[in-house]
Each structure stands twice: as C-alpha cells, then as structure tokens.
C-alpha cells in the first residue's frame, strides 16, 4: 500500500558533498523553486551557512515522477558528517530503509565514511554508494570505485558517479533510490507506532517531534501518547517537511513527517520515544536510542556578572533544540557564577560558544575543556569529577581514572610513521592495522580522551597534510598517574586555570603554560606574578612587568575622532577581559593549556 | 550652539614630501610637486569659500601650516596663502603663525622671506641628533643641516621655534638619546616636542621589525627615555605643559603652542587642504584625501553652510555627551594645568567630577590622577600617568 514511498538518508565523511547532493535532488524534483534555491539550502542555521558545515540533520519530502511514469514520495534526511554529531546520523538511520553513502572522488574513503557505513549496516539499511565531485581534475573515480567494491561488494557498475555541484548524473541517483531501496512496509490497521527521531523547538507550536510512522496512522484529531514519558497530547498540527513545515490531515505508515506537540519542554518529548494512540496503544515501544553522553566539559561564565541570568536563559533556549547540551550552575573563585556545561566534543563546544556570543550577544569566558574523571577516594567512595577546579586534595585520592577512547585513524600509508609517533606521544596504545584500500591504512588505538581534546586533530591534520581522518568511541575508564596543575596569579590560585595532566608531563606543561600565560596576560598597572605548581611544588614562575607606556603621542592636525575611536576600542577590549582579583585576564588565557604545542 | 564669535584656529595641510620617511603613515605624498601650484590655488579657494559663507569675518588667532612638508612651498606661495587668510578672516594682532619645516628644504633666504611675511613660529622636524638614527628613519637631512637650519632661523629673526624629536627607535640606546637631548638643550629652542615612536603596521619600518631586520622597540626603554627628558628639560628651564610638549615660560612670554592649545582646550578650528580636520559649530569635518579629488571638489565652488566645505568627506555632529567626553580626553593631556572645574562648568553647564565621579575616584586611587590644589578645582595626570595616558583617557570615552 505504500509502494510509492522511499525513505533514505545521505551519509558521508565531512564535506564530501551530502548537502550539495540534497540541493540537486530538491531542484530536480521541483521541491524548491529556483528562486528559493541557495547552496546547501538545508543548512538553514546561520552558523551552518557561515561554516559551510551541517550541524543538525534535516528532513524533507520530495515528489518525483520516475522513468516508469509512477509518482514517488521520497523522504530524504541530510545528516552532518562531523564526528561530534554522529548521534544525529544514528537517529536518522532508524527512520530509513536506505542510505546514500557519498564519497568524495578526490579524498576517497575516510574515517567517518566507514563509521557511518557501519552504523547504517547495523540498522540493516540498503547502501547505495555514490562517488561525488567527479568534475574535479584531481578526482580518481576508478580508484575510489574499486575501493568501494572491496569494501561493500557492490559491483562497479552499480556505483553511481556524480558531480553534485554540476548536477551531473543526479537522475541516476534518484533511479537507484527507487529501484534499490525497498518501500517502508508497515500496516495501516495496526496500532500506531511512530518513532521520534529528532525534534526542534518552535515558540508557537512547542516541541516539534520529527517522526517516522511505522504502523498505523496519525490524524489531526488523534489523541496521542508518548510511551516513555506517558505524556498525552492532542497535536497542534501534523505534517511533512517541504523543507518548511507543511500541515496535512493524516500521516500514513511509512511516512516521515512531524507532530507539533505544543509541549514546552524537551524532557516531555524525548527523541527516541515512540508515539502511539491513546485509544489503541501499541504493546511495546520501538527500541529507541542510546542516550548520548557528553564527553567534554567546560565552564561558561559571563564576563560581566550582571549577565548571569541572560546566560542562563540562553542556555535554556539552546537546550530546547539541542538536548545533547547539558549545563549545571557552578561557582568559581576566580570567575564567580556560571555554568558547567557538557558537550559531545570540541566542535560542539565551539558551536555553542559561538551561538551564545552571536545569537544571544553575550560576552562570555569559556574555560579549557576537561574530561570526566572517576576518582576513588581514600574513603573507598568513587566520585565523578568533570572540572579540575573541583578535584579533591591529593591526600584524599586513592586512584584517578580517566576515560579512554577507541580511536581509528585513517591515513595514506606514507604517513604511517608520523601518525604512530603522534599516538605514542599522546599515550596511545596500538591495537591493530588494516588496509581497507591500497595505499590506505586504518590504525586502531586506545588513547585517553584528555589527550584527544588537546589539539590532537590539528596535529594529526598537519602531520598528514590534511589527509588523515579520525573517528573515536568511548572505551572505558582506566587508572593512571595524573596530577592537578595549578596556576597562581599574584599568589592566588586561579581555579579556572587549573588542569589535570599526566605526572610525566607536569613539569614541561607547567613551564610552557607559564610562558604562554606571560605572553597572553597584558601588562597591567602593577607587576603580575604567574606561577604553576603541582603536588604543592612550584614548577615555574614568570613576571608580567608593570605597564609603563600606553599613550597616543601625537595629534595629527586635530584628528580628535581617531583618538577617541582608538580609546573606545581599547576600552572595549579591556571589557572583554575578566577581572580575577585585581588582575585583568583575557579569554585566551583560559584556553592556553590547549595550545602548548611545540613552537 | 556655540557662539559665532568664538576665536578659531586654522590648520592648513600641505601633503607634499620629498621622500617618505620609513616610519611615516601621515597623510602625505611624494613625487607630486607638479600639483603644488594648483593645490595652493585650491586651498586659497577653499579658504575663501568657507570664510565667505559667514556674513562677517571670523576671528582667528592661530594659523598652522602643517604637512607633509609645507616648507616645500615657495615664499611666493606662502605669501599667496597668508594674503588669502588676511583677506578672508579677522586675524588677531598677535596671531601665531607656525610653519612646519624640514631641515634640508630651507635656506637662510627662504627663512628670511617667511619671517618677513609674518610667519612668527617655526617648527623644525629634527627628529634626532644621531646620524645613524636619521638614516634608520629615512630622513632627508643630516645633523649638520639641522644645526644650520636652526642658525639660519635665528638669523632670519625667528625668536620662537620648536624642534621635533622622536624617541623609542629600534635599537636606540640611552647614549643616543642623551645625544639628541643635549643637542636640543644646546640649541635652546623656545619649544620642544618629543614624540614616542608609534608605528602603523603598514610602514616600512614596522615591516623591517616584523622581518627581524630591526629590533622591536622596547616600551620600557622608551619610558626611561621619557623620564630622562622630563628631568633634564625641567633643569634646563623648560616647562612641560602637555604629554609630548615643553616650552619656555619667561615672565609674561609663554611659548606654549597656542594652536595646539586650541585642540587640547576643545576649542574650534578650521581645517583647509586635503585630509585636513576641522571642528566648529559642534561638527567635526574631514576633507577628502586624494589631491586630485580635493582640487576637483574645491573647484566645484559650491558654497555650504559654515563651517562646511565642498571638500568635506566626513561630517560628524558631536553630541553633548561626546563633547564632554572629548573635553576630558583632551584636557587631561595638559600635564600642568589639567582641567579646571569652574571652566568646564562654564562651557558644558555640568561638573565633570559629578559626571565621572566613579571613574575619577578610581583613578585617584590608582595614583593616575591628582588634584592640582587642595580645593579640588583642577585635576591632572600624575607624573607616572603621563606615559599611561590611555589608561586614564579611556575611562572617559565610549559607553559608561
Ligand atoms: N567541485 C565540486 N565540489 C563539490 C561537489 N559537491 C560538493 N562540493 C563542494 O564541497 C564542499 C562541501 O559540500 P557540502 O555539500 O557542504 O558537504 P557536506 O557533506 O554536506 O558537509 P557536512 O555536512 O559539513 O559534513 C562545498 O564547498 C561544496 O561546494 C562537486 O560535485 N564538485
Ligand atoms: S617629512 Fe614628515 S610627513 Fe613627510 S614623510 Fe617624513 S615624517 Fe612623513
Ligand atoms: Mg552538509
């Protein structure tokens, strides 16, 4: 009965052209008019457009008249490629029967190509490999095609070669979707089962649940129940994505669409929950999703204490659209009142920071990211601490455990040596190597997460001329010799500058940190002493000399405005700094520990 | 609005130089002398246009011919400009008429000519008495030529001249600086301007520093040089009246630069010439910079409402708040007199100690500001704050 429906997502490594392929399909099917068309039209957030990166998955329905003359309903979900947003991919997969696996013809298979492919295979999806960017001179489609055949067993003639940018062979992609991906199945007369695979918050319509109907159907006047939270509701509106919200009167089995719930909090309407009918409930919910856990933690503080409540409101609003962001109030001696926030990774953190600054116009200090440590106390109790500032005293600690990750690094074989060296330097333990394609090696390691969040990725990229890619998953907690590196400014410890480091690194990291801070902290009206210490021992100290000269010497023929503007600018810069005691510390200082790179 | 009768200063800009100095980011040009006659005509026309937009001759008490190198104008051309000024404005009897000159561009005859025309103050761009430093700066003259120019100026009748120096040069030593200070004191000018080197990123000298060819100038060293200057010039009988300026004051004859005082007192002035700045009737104006564009605009001959000129590229109405902020930022540069409260109240109908109470108390606490007398009538920078002016001034500008 729903033979005309195809549900699929587009998955790939970052930047391989998913969103651009979506553009072409939207155009060919006339879903978006030429007038409304822009590059990566589904990347609708400002930050996505600016960075040219998809952050949030988006769904859209297309109508397509195939070569056989029949009209099909194609539900497309474009997914992000960045490893931090991997959970968006897993969610989208559950709503689909097939996946387009896009591979850049110049880059070939990369880490998230594999990671996302395995996720799709776990969900039993039909995979359609697509080689993109064949318009580029450096494209090597034959090679990439062979690699894909080796990986998937798909014969070369079934691998579609396209240029999403030039709109080449997009019809072949559409035909493959129709011919190879099965229709969704599901029964209209069974009890309603609809999976919530994503959501966003709309200030008029409340939480909009993105759903995939598996069995049964939803009408505008159906009384609905969310099976996990037992929330009952009558939808404000139901409909499909066009890609904007398009209301309909009924959603059928196999459909992808939305339910505007009218609910005001995301906790009442969780992604992964199953929607059913109050009148005829399903026996069991859909399997749902594993809860995503934040991996990286950092403090966010307003530079000006008066902005605290604005910051709180902003975090609340961001969380409505991004349940993976968590935050709790936190107090720092140095920075006063703020929030401890949990993120999926550094990129996620950067995005939240930028959104707070731009969309909410907040002047904030973000402290260096930390992982969550598991600490066994002398008392025998185990505690979880995600902030160096809150570490118990050394005498109370029996053992410190830190999170380790399973890491896969994908690289051309020529960089084997330098990648090995990097992993070893970062306390990595080599596990295995595989050669998924000639000249390509996948190296697997266990590496502590704390080593990965300190410019591991940048280091990897620079060592491999940008060719290596990286994927990782949580492995387990392991004990190691870790110490707290404290920073004292004019003899007062600044909790927000503290870091947890490996004992063997404490000395040189302490020294480099002090050197860096000396360079970052501007000269003030008095001398500022900066010290690093660990286990009660001072490792390094430096002095920021008192400022002696800061004046505009000359007034060029009465140019007073220039003078005033310069002073205003200087004043603004000063305002962005945080007063810690009587010392002004710029935002950069709190991130210094991340940038101790060899110089 | 400000009274029509206020006495104005006039700044005339001549953006012509023989060769650009390596630290220079001023509005000037080289290889453009062919435009000079047209330019002089244009500046005269601009003076006439603006002056005649008033129905009476405006009172003027300072004229400053700056640049660039105004001493590249011939005596005849200077005469042309000053004659225009006298015809267009009501010049006070004791009008201070300053001309900036570079050694190496002036002869005795020339200077004599200028003095005859009524130029009564000369500002000589000496910059240094160390030959190697002159080379480093890319100056066109030698120390000997500088010495000669000073002698010629005296002979020509100038009894009021200024020497400009720059300190804080890359690699400059105390001994070097001492040499320049000695030179300055020996030649006994009535006025001295000592400017700390400030480099725009685009200047060749800044690039040489970035490339590691020259040493990065050391701020602490510059601060030491400044202290040396303050001490020695005081001993030599100079009074420091502004952050970078010293003058002799003998009885009734004060040689402070009246034209500059006009700026620091936030008093009105007109600017003529390309890229010049004016401030009158509460409007700050800036003229277009490119020579041809400037000449073209003036030739359009469109009369505007005073004090505007067809050559204005920017016209900024200064609001009441900004005006009061600027008065603080400028007045506090006067290291001796500071800002008098009664005078401020007279001009702005408000007491600065009321408006900026919080800021002033904090700065007093930090030892950056001080009351001149116990009655809290005048406030000024402390000695140590003279080189930290920005740390003080910024508190009085922008949003509270
Ligand atoms: N030359 C060429 N460039 C392409 C092609 N397809 C995409 N691009 C470019 O590749 C870049 C990335 O394209 P996107 O569509 O944003 O890639 P994406 O996979 O959606 O990226 P993420 O969502 O961030 O993972 C853009 O600059 C595109 O213009 C193509 O066929 N040829
Ligand atoms: S003489 Fe003055 S204006 Fe001319 S280039 Fe040298 S510093 Fe610049
Ligand atoms: Mg994308």
* pLDDT given for residue A597 in this prediction: 66
Give the ranges where A473-535 is alpha helix by DSSP (H).
Answer: 503-520
**pLDDT above 50: residue B219:** yes
The pLDDT of residue A270 is above 90: no
Q: Which CATH code, of 3.40.470.10, 3.30.70.870, 3.90.1150.30, 3.90.1310.10, is assigned to A296-367?
A: 3.30.70.870
What three-state secondary structure class fits B9?
Answer: strand
User: CATH topology for A5-180?
Assistant: Rossmann fold (3.40.50)
The SS3 assignment for A85 reads: helix
Q: What is the bridge-based pairing of β-strands A364-366 and A296-302? A: antiparallel
Comparing CB atoms, the residue among A525, A545, A553 nearest residue B196 is A553
Interfacial residues of A (vs B; Cβ cutoff 8 Å): 525, 545, 547-561, 563-564, 567-568, 570-572, 574
Question: Interface of chain B against chain A, CB under 8 Å?
Answer: 11, 13, 26-27, 64, 66, 195-196, 198, 219-220, 222-223, 226, 243-244, 260, 263, 269, 271, 276-279, 284, 286, 316, 322, 325-326, 329-330, 366, 368, 386-391, 393-395, 397-398
Summarize pLDDT for B7-17 with one digit per residue, the tens: 999 999 999 99
Give the pLDDT band of residue A599 (cuts 50, 70, 90): very low
Q: Do A554 and B244 touch (CB under 8 A)?
A: yes
Is ligand 2 within 6 A of the CB of residue B168?
A: no
Q: Is B318 left (phi over 0), alpha (psi -120 to 50) or beta?
A: beta
List, in order, residues 6 or more apart from A323 with CB less than 8 Å away.
Answer: A199, A266, A270, A271
H or E stretch at B365: helix B357-365
Question: Considering only CA atoms, which of A117, A115, A140 is closest in space to residue A129?
Answer: A117
Q: What is the pLDDT of residue A1?
A: 67
C-alpha dihedral (B256, B257, B258, B264), degrees to nearest 10: -90
Structure-block tokens of residue A242: 């066009």
Atom of ligand 1 nearest to the CA of A132: 31
Query: Do the beta carbons of residue B226 and residue B219 sit within 8 Å?
Result: no
Average pLDDT over every residue of A363-388:
93
pLDDT of residue A96: 94
Whether B105 is in the pocket of ligand 2, judged by its Cβ within 6 Å, is: no
Q: What are phi and psi of A440, to 5 degrees?
A: -125, 135
Q: Ligand 2: does its nearest atom lie under 6 Å from the Cβ of B338?
A: no
Residue A594 has pLDDT above 90, yes or no: no
| Distance between CA atoms of residues A107 and A81, nearest Å | 14
Question: Model pTM?
Answer: 0.76
Packing angle of the helix pair B341-348, B320-331 (nearest 10 deg): 160
> Which ligand minimizes its atom distance to the CA of B32?
2
Nearest CA in chain B to A550: B388
Q: Can A296-367 and A484-598 be said to share one CATH topology? A: yes
CA A2 to chain centre: 35
Any ligand 2 atom below 6 A from CB of B204: no
What pLDDT sits at residue A440? 86
| For residue A269, pLDDT beyond 90 | no
Q: Which atom of ligand 1 is nearest to the CA of A14?
A: 25
pLDDT band, residue A286 (cuts 50/70/90):
confident
Burial class from Cβ neighbours inside 10 Å (0-12, 13-18, 19+) for residue B277 reads buried
Ligand 1 within 6 A of A80 CB? yes
What is the predicted pLDDT for the residue at A142?
A: 95
User: How much is the pLDDT for A203?
Assistant: 85
Minimal-distance CA residue to ligand 1 atom 9: A17
In sequence order, the 6+-apart residues with CB closer than 8 A to the CB of B384 are B367, B368
Taking the C-alpha atoms of residue B324 and residue B322, their distance in angstroms, rounded to an integer, is 5
Give the pLDDT mean for A265-273. 82
By alpha-carbon position, which residue is closest to atom 24 of ligand 1? Answer: A53
Residue B149: beta bridge partners? Answer: none
Residues of A in contact with B368 (CB under 8 A): 525
- CATH numeric code, A484-598: 3.30.70.2570
The fourth-level CATH superfamily of domain B8-262 is: Aldolase class I (3.20.20.70)
Q: Which element (helix H / strand E) includes B85?
A: helix B75-88
Which stretch of DSSP H or E encloses residue A51? helix A46-51
Q: Is the pLDDT of residue B1 over 50?
A: no
CA A314 to CA A306: how far, in whole Å? 14
Q: Which residues are in the CB-under-5-Å shell of ion ligand 3?
A: A 18-19, 54
Architecture of domain B320-396: Orthogonal Bundle (1.10)
Q: Is B203 in the pocket of ligand 2 (CB under 6 A)?
A: no
Confirm whether B8-262 and B320-396 share one CATH topology: no
- Residue B133: its H or E element: helix B131-137
Q: How large is the average pLDDT for residues B278-297? A: 96
Average pLDDT for residues A551-573, to the nearest whole number?
A: 85
Q: Could you tell me the CA-to-CA distances from A227 to A253, A299, B309 in Å, in that order?
A: 18, 35, 76
Mean pLDDT of B34-53: 96
Q: Residue A556: pLDDT band by 50, 70, 90 thresholds?
A: low
Q: Is A12 in the pocket of ligand 1 (CB under 6 A)?
A: yes
Interchain pair B398, A571: CB under 8 A? yes
Domain ranges of chain A: 5-180, 193-277, 296-367, 374-479, 484-598
Q: What number of other Cβ atoms are within 10 A of residue A242's Cβ?
A: 15
Q: Are strands A126-132 and A160-161 parallel, antiparallel or unpaired?
A: parallel
Structure-block tokens of residue A351: 């995005």
Lowest mean pLDDT among A32-46, A297-311, B235-249: A32-46
In the reported structure, the alpha carbon of residue A58 is separated from the centroid of ligand 3 by a whole-number distance in angstroms of 10
Q: What is the mean pLDDT of chain B?
A: 94
Which residues of chain A have a CB within 8 Å of the CB of B276?
Answer: 557-558
What is the Å distance from ligand 3's center to B158 Cα?
Answer: 75
Count CB atoms within 10 A of the CB of residue A537: 10
Q: Is the pLDDT score of B2 beyond 50?
A: no
pLDDT, mean over chain A? 91
Structure tokens at B250: 């003998």
Q: Where are the domains of chain B?
A: 8-262, 320-396
Q: Is the pLDDT of residue A548 over 60?
A: yes
Q: In the predicted model, what is the mean pLDDT of residues A160-177?
A: 95
CA A12 to ligand 3 center in whole angstroms = 9
Task: Determine if ligand 2 sits within 6 Å of the CB of residue B71.
Answer: no
Cα(B99)–Cα(B67) distance, rounded to whole angstroms? 9
Does the domain at A193-277 match CATH 2.40.30.10? Answer given as: yes
**Integer Cα distance of A244 and B244 in angstroms:** 64
Exposure of B204 in the CB half-sphere (CA atoms within 13 A): 8
The dihedral formed by the CA atoms of A404, A408, A412 and A413, expressed in degrees to the nearest 10: 70
CB atoms closer than 10 angstroms to residue A181: 22
Are B277 and A559 an interchain contact pair (Cβ–Cβ within 8 Å)?
yes
Atom of ligand 2 nearest to the CA of B67: 3
User: In this predicted structure, what is the pLDDT of residue A105?
Assistant: 96
Residue B241 structure tokens: 């009246």
Band of the pLDDT at A554, cuts 50, 70, 90?
confident
Rounded Cα gap, residues A42 and A30, in angstroms: 15
Distance between CA atoms of residues B335 and B234, nearest Å? 13
Of B26, B390, B397, the CB nearest to A550: B390
C-alpha span between A121 and A562 (Å, rounded): 63
Select from B69, B275, B398 the residue whose CB has the most chain A CBs within 10 Å, as the one to mutate to test that interface: B398
Nearest CA in chain B to A563: B329
Question: For residue A84, what pLDDT band results from cuts at 50, 70 and 90?
Answer: confident
Give the residue, out of B13, B15, B17, with the most ligand 2 atoms within 8 A of its beta carbon, to mutate for a pocket test. B17
Classify each residue of B118-147 as buried b or exposed e, where b means 16 or more C-beta atoms within 10 Å of its C-beta.
bbbbbbbbbbbbbeebbebbebbbebebbb
Contacts of B196 in chain A (CB under 8 A): 549, 551, 553
Cβ contacts of B278 on chain A, cutoff 8 Å = 558
CA-to-CA distance for B166 and B136, rounded, in angstroms?
A: 12
Residue of chain A nearest B194, judged by CA positions: A553
* Tens-digit pLDDT profile for residues A441-460: 999 999 999 999 888 888 89
Work out which ligand 1 atom sits closest to the CA atom of A54: 23
Q: Which bound ligand lies closest to the C-alpha atom of B123?
A: 2
ipTM for the whole complex? 0.93
Third-level CATH fold of A374-479: Alpha-Beta Plaits (3.30.70)
C-alpha to C-alpha distance for A272 and A261, rounded to whole angstroms: 15
> Which ligand is the nearest neighbour of the Cα of B28?
2
pLDDT at B66 over 90: yes
Instruction: Give the burial class of A399: count Cβ atoms within 10 A of its Cβ; 0-12 exposed, 13-18 middle, 19 or more buried.
Output: middle
The C-alpha atoms of residue B220 and residue A15 are separated, in whole angstroms, by 50
Distance from residue B105's CA to the centre of ligand 2 (Å): 12
Asked whether B133 and B167 are in contact (CB, 8 A), the reply is: no
pLDDT(B4) > 90: no
Q: How far is A418 from chain B (nearest CA, A)?
A: 31
Residues counted in chain B: 400
CA nearest ligand 2 atom 2, residue: B68
CB atoms within 10 A of CB A595: 16
* Percent above pLDDT 90 for chain A: 64
């Amino acid at each position: 009965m729903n033979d005309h429906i195809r549900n699929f997502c587009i998955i790939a490594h970052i930047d391989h052209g998913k969103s651009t392929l979506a553009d072409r399909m939207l155009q060919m099917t006339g879903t978006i008019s030429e007038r409304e068309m822009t590059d990566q039209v589904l990347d609708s957030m400002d930050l996505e457009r600016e960075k040219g990166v998809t952050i949030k998955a988006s769904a859209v329905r297309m109508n397509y008249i195939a070569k056989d003359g029949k009209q099909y309903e194609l539900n497309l979900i474009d997914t992000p490629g960045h490893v931090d947003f991997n959970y968006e991919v897993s969610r989208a997969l559950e709503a689909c029967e097939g996946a387009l696996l896009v591979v850049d013809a110049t880059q070939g298979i990369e880490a998230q190509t594999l990671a996302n492919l395995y996720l799709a295979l776990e969900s039993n999806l039909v995979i359609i490999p697509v080689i993109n960017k064949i318009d580029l001179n450096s494209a090597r489609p034959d090679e990439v095609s062979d690699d894909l055949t080796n990986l998937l067993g798909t014969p070369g003639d079934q691998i579609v070669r396209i240029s999403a940018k030039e709109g080449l062979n997009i019809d072949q992609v559409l035909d493959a979707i129709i011919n190879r991906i099965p229709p969704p199945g599901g029964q209209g007369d069974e009890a309603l089962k609809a999976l919530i695979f994503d959501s966003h918050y709309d200030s008029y319509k409340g939480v909009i649940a993105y759903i995939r109907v598996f069995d049964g159907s939803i009408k505008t006047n159906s009384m609905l129940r969310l099976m996990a939270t037992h929330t009952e509701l009558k939808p404000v509106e139901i409909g499909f994505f066009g890609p904007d919200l398009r209301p309909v009167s009924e959603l059928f089995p196999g459909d992808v669409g939305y339910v505007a719930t009218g609910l005001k909090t995301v906790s009442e309407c969780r992604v992964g929950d199953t929607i059913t009918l109050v009148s005829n409930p399903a026996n069991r919910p859909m399997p749902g999703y594993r809860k995503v856990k934040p991996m990286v933690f950092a403090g966010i503080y307003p530079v000006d204490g008066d902005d605290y409540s604005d910051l709180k409101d902003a975090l609340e609003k961001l969380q409505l659209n991004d349940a993976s962001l968590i935050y709790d109030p936190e107090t720092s001696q140095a920075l006063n009142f703020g929030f401890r926030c949990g993120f999926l990774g550094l990129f996620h953190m950067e995005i939240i920071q930028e959104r707070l600054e731009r969309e909410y116009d907040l002047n904030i200090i973000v402290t260096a990211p930390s992982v969550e440590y598991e600490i066994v106390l002398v008392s025998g109790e185990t505690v979880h601490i995600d902030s160096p500032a809150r570490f118990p005293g050394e005498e109370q600690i029996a053992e410190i455990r830190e999170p380790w990750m399973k890491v896969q690094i994908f690289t051309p074989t020529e960089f084997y040596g330098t990648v090995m060296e990097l992993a070893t330097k970062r306390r990595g333990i080599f596990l295995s190597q595989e050669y998924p394609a000639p000249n390509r090696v996948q190296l697997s390691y266990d590496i502590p997460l704390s080593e990965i969040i300190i410019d591991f990725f940048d280091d990897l990229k620079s060592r491999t001329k940008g060719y290596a890619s990286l994927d990782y998953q949580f492995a387990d907690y392991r004990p190691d010799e870790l110490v707290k590196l404290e920073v004292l400014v004019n003899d007062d410890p600044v909790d927000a500058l503290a870091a947890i480091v490996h004992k063997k690194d404490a000395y040189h990291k302490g020294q480099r940190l002090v050197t860096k801070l000396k360079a970052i902290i501007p000269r003030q009206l008095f001398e500022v002493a900066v010290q690093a210490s660990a286990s009660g021992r001072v490792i390094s100290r430096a002095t920021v000399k008192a400022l002696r000269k800061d004046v505009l010497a000359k007034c060029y023929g009465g140019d007073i405005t220039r003078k005033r503007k310069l002073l205003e600018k200087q004043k603004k810069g000063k305002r962005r700094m945080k007063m810690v005691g009587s010392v002004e510390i710029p935002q950069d200082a709190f991130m210094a520990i991340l940038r101790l790179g060899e110089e | 609005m400000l009274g029509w009768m206020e006495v104005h200063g006039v700044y005339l800009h001549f953006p012509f130089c023989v060769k650009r100095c390596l630290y220079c980011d001023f509005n000037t040009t080289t290889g453009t002398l062919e435009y000079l006659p047209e330019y002089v005509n244009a500046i005269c026309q601009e003076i006439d246009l603006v002056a005649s937009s008033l129905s009476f001759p405006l009172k003027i008490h300072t004229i400053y011919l700056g640049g660039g190198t105004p001493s590249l104008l011939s005596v005849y051309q200077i005469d042309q400009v000053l004659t225009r000024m006298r015809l267009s404005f009501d010049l006070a009897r004791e009008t201070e008429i300053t001309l900036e000159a570079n050694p190496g561009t002036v002869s005795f005859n020339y200077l004599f000519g200028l003095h005859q025309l009524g130029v009564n103050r000369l500002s000589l761009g000496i910059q240094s008495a160390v030959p190697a430093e002159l080379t480093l700066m890319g100056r066109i003259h030698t120390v000997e030529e500088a010495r000669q120019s000073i002698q010629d100026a005296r002979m020509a009748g100038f009894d009021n001249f200024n020497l400009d120096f720059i300190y804080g040069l890359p690699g400059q030593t105390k001994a070097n600086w001492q040499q320049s200070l000695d030179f300055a004191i020996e030649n006994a000018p009535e006025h001295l301007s000592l400017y700390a080197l400030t480099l725009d990123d685009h200047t060749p000298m800044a690039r040489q520093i970035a490339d590691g060819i020259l040493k990065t100038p050391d701020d602490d060293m510059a601060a030491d040089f400044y202290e040396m200057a303050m001490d020695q010039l005081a001993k030599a009988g100079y009074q420091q009246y502004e952050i970078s300026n010293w003058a002799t004051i003998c009885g009734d004859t004060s040689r402070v630069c009246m034209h500059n005082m006009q700026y620091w007192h936030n008093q009105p002035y007109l600017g003529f010439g390309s890229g010049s700045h004016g401030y009158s009737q509460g409007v700050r104006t800036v003229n277009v910079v490119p020579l041809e564009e400037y000449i073209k605009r003036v030739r359009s001959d469109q009369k505007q409402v005073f004090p505007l000129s067809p050559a204005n590229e920017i016209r900024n109405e200064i609001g009441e708040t900004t005006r009061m902020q600027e008065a603080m930022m400028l007045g506090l540069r006067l290291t001796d007199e500071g800002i008098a409260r009664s005078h401020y109240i007279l001009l702005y109908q408000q007491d600065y100690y009321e408006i900026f109470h919080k800021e002033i108390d904090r700065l007093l606490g930090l030892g950056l500001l001080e009351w001149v007398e116990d009655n809290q009538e005048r406030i000024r920078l402390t000695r140590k704050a003279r080189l930290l002016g920005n740390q003080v001034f910024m508190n009085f500008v922008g949003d509270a």
